[in-house]
Structure 1
């Protein structure tokens, strides 16, 4: 990051005053790169910079050195952290079994005004934002600047929940780094979730800023706050969205994950096992920012959609942002991290691609009589169907109804009208999801075959691909557990999937590129 473009406030002179002289004399002039100093009893001090670390081999940390630092600190909290009055610096303690301090981590705290230019354009849109990144990468610095920007530039009522006094510094008066935002301190770290709720109930904030959501209670409190219409800006440890999804404590922040058992129709449509992982509810946070380094972030603008895609093994769309001085560049990046999730949905991707290719294909107007339109629309969308649900029966190409509705006496007027003007009537046994799904499969593939006879080139009477499918189906029905078909292109495989599943056979695609092929398996009962 171009340091001349940003105003950095670090109060480094106050930080150096609490350290023994034998350590400060060895600190290099590159103060802007200083991250922390580690003091462990009986070991050499370690000075850590942003790009390197320096061990003072000729010095050994003594009890006197540790006592020298402790005497200059404020109160030590139950989280074994302390601060320096009116600064953002943090001193963390390591204690032995008898509560004696034997180690210190002295972290430099900085207020970097202008540090959120890389994400400033969407900070004020009212959406909740979760910031992730490895320790020391700048999450809290970014959080501090967001609080200031929302309070001063956006004129919003901002309350900072400062559990360890790390965001707004030690002491009763908040550090200027958070601007006019208000700060609520937390008496005990175990009470952070209570203070979060208290802030909303007592102080009417428009924005709540929280550092390090790390427990289930805090996660639940964050959900409660979001449901009350308050914008949340928070940080959590972890490098990527994947880390949150597989973390049982924090997964609620992005919607949670649950195991569901699919029905036969849905499992067949997905070409997958019947037990899969799905998102449980709406995410607490709308946007997720992954800090890659101080000059680069990855942004998920729709957390719910990103989680859904990851659970299905579909590539997620991430916006990569890089900043170089005042120049901000943005680029789209898609990636699949399916080493974490078992479910593969190559066939769903193929169907989506097919739908994109066939956007010019005319929709089939279907009028549902005596059926739930909402259910029909949902299933039609799930099956990537070219069916359009309409409300005017006179413009319908097909009337869809149940046998019971069709057989009513006297005959319904809509049925009479359809028969009179020659609109085809399709009957299903009942209005269940299973029956509607069969109708959608039938009409979608029939229309695809009629409108694209030269595209698929699959004659279902005499092609080798079909004969091979029939052979495999017979072998499965005669007792074999599985049968592997020859490699085919995606159009032929799609028709093979459809033909086999209609015969009650489970299918799965394996291989890559020109070696992509289907395995037929006996369906589990």
Structure 2
């Protein structure tokens, strides 16, 4: 509880309820200052109202009865309807209405919002009671003291601005930090040139018009050397960019944004940058299979501006996400993230418990939850450095580092055993693989019984078999192969058909004359439908397309099966296209 004498002088009422926690809270509402701006008959009824402490706002609309809205109900304050004179009476006793049609009462936290007609005349007023509640952030005080940026989310009226006000005071007075409040509508620190004492030693910067809020945010950092910036209602793309700029300069940010949950920000393209931004990323075949997802997925593209997110579901029940980056990644993968729920019981004690999500388990069998002891995530996804890639296989720095280390591997001195091939060539051929899946290589060599020996020492190799994307980005490999006069055979992608075709070309084997084809190179399941479709394509190629030089149309097949047929046609070095509409879409194979 604050002992500031200035606050105690302005305190008009300390609300008492049955909850012990609230008994320890000091509530400053300056309600008499607001009542003085209302028509006399309305003010008189509210002055002695038994539920005065629960008053939320007073609504005054032209031609209607004035009404008071309380926490649990509403009621009319007069039998007479509001006249233009009543609205003018109220307007003359409040401050100037700004560009967002908001005004205030000097040295108070009350907010008066105006409704205007087409001619610009005020025809309605919403007089919202502003209260400074001391002790409201006990549930997240440990997070405030960490120095990490915090984003507050919640529906209107749940207490976001009240929490911001208390956070600014705690940071300035209790933690002795340099705090600057960006007060666009004079709602955090009140109306007038002198800020309300509820923000403590924190300084307040006012904004001339709402569209200039982002400029004032940057100005605060450049001119006043703050350690913490408090900002209410981040709602535009420029303000989101300004918030990122501030966070990147090492300043702690505490702010609120339009949205009830993190899901709302992910779906909001204007504000998604606050939680790292969203982009479409193309995955490689192996990664897509590992995730059991499509090849194009949504990923977070950068580190979040705010490290911690607090979803204010109710006034005494908040959900905390201590690692926003990890929570967003789980949501984008289609899982329900774990949540840390903080609430206040009847004894006034803060209760913290975890709600498990349906995210996949980690290697040790434990579900990853949002909790205080989790380390910050690392790696390319968490650092925000993952960027969209083209259709070529994605580059992986860890993979390239392992490839570079493979240059250091050497084999003992061995004698090459040679036997003559069908055309007098020396078999087997010693191949140095670079960036190629060893399992796929072994599978192809076993299926086709190829005379190839894999070597880890490039000095013993007769040829280099490398992935195309790695050859492009590795000048050392190209230079070394040129120096040793070793040919490089390029594989477009790590697939069985591509590796098979390249190895047959390396051995000068014509796939059209190779003895038989093992369909396991093209299908994993080996079910009857797939094998039948591949056999149909093989017969069409070997009996019509190649000997007669005529194109052939195959029977309609599903997309997965057509892909296998395309790979089989490519195995014969033939071109193929799909045409027609589903479910009658089919393959056409052309002669070379």
Q: TM-score, normalised by structure 2?
A: 0.63
Q: Who is 1:233 aligned against?
A: 254
SS at match of 1:277: strand
Please say if 1:22 is aligned against 2:99: no
Of residues 527, 530, 545, the one that matches 1:470 is: 527
Q: Who is 2:305 aligned against?
A: 284
Note closer, same or farther for the CA distance 1:273–1:56 as it changes in structure 2 (3 Å cut): same
Please say if 1:52 is aligned against 2:67: no
Please say if 1:248 is aligned against 2:269: yes
**Alignment check: 8 A CA contact 1:428 1:435 kept:** no
Displacement of 1:17 in angstroms is 1.2
Please say if 1:376 is aligned against 2:399: yes
Of residues 328, 332, 349, the one that matches 2:350 is: 328
Structure 2: tracts of 5 or more residues without a match? 1-18, 368-394, 411-431, 437-453, 471-490, 497-522, 535-554, 568-584, 588-592
Runs of 4+ in structure 1 deviating by more than 4 angstroms, as ranges, are 389-394, 399-405, 431-439, 466-469, 475-479
**Alignment check: 8 A CA contact 1:476 1:482 kept:** no
1:370-413 Cα distance to aligned partner (Å, 9 max, x none): xx99423999xxxxxxxxx999989xxxx9966898352278xx
Q: Who is 1:481 aligned against?
A: 558
Of residues 120, 127, 134, the one that matches 1:99 is: 120
Of residues 313, 337, 348, the one that matches 1:316 is: 337
Q: Who is 2:102 aligned against?
A: 81
Which structure ranks higher in relative contact order (CA pairs < 8 Å, sequence separation ≥ 6)?
1
Q: Who is 1:70 aligned against?
A: 91
Note closer, same or farther for the CA distance 1:428–1:160 as it changes in structure 2 (3 Å cut): farther
Of residues 449, 452, 458, the one that matches 1:408 is: 458
**Alignment check: 8 A CA contact 1:265 1:437 kept:** no
RMSD over aligned Cα, in angstroms?
3.8
Displacement of 1:97 in angstroms is 1.4
Structure 1: tracts of 5 or more residues without a match? 337-348, 360-371, 380-388, 412-426, 440-465, 484-499, 505-521
1:69-123 Cα distance to aligned partner (Å, 9 max, x none): 1111112111111100110000011111111000111011111010100111110
Q: Who is 2:287 aligned against?
A: 266
Of residues 175, 180, 198, the one that matches 1:177 is: 198
Displacement of 1:58 in angstroms is 2.5
1:43-92 Cα distance to aligned partner (Å, 9 max, x none): 22221112222245733121111111111111211111110011000001
**Alignment check: 8 A CA contact 1:257 1:279 kept:** yes
- Flag the structure with larger Rg: 2
SS at match of 1:211: strand
SS at match of 1:409: helix
SS at match of 2:90: helix
What is the distance in 1 between the residues matched to 2:401 and 2:81?
Answer: 69
How many residue pairs end up in the alignment? Answer: 413
1:134-158 Cα distance to aligned partner (Å, 9 max, x none): 1111000000000000001111100
**Alignment check: 8 A CA contact 2:409 2:457 kept:** no
Q: Who is 1:137 aligned against?
A: 158
What is the distance in 2 between the residues matched to 1:206 and 1:438?
Answer: 54
What is the distance in 1 between the residues matched to 2:533 and 2:148?
Answer: 53
SS at match of 2:222: helix
Displacement of 1:467 in angstroms is 11
Displacement of 1:184 in angstroms is 0.6
What is the distance in 1 between the residues matched to 2:524 and 2:205?
Answer: 72
Q: Who is 1:383 aligned against?
A: none
Note closer, same or farther for the CA distance 1:248–1:55 as it changes in structure 2 (3 Å cut): farther
What is the distance in 1 between the residues matched to 2:532 and 2:63?
Answer: 73
Note closer, same or farther for the CA distance 1:20–1:125 as it changes in structure 2 (3 Å cut): same
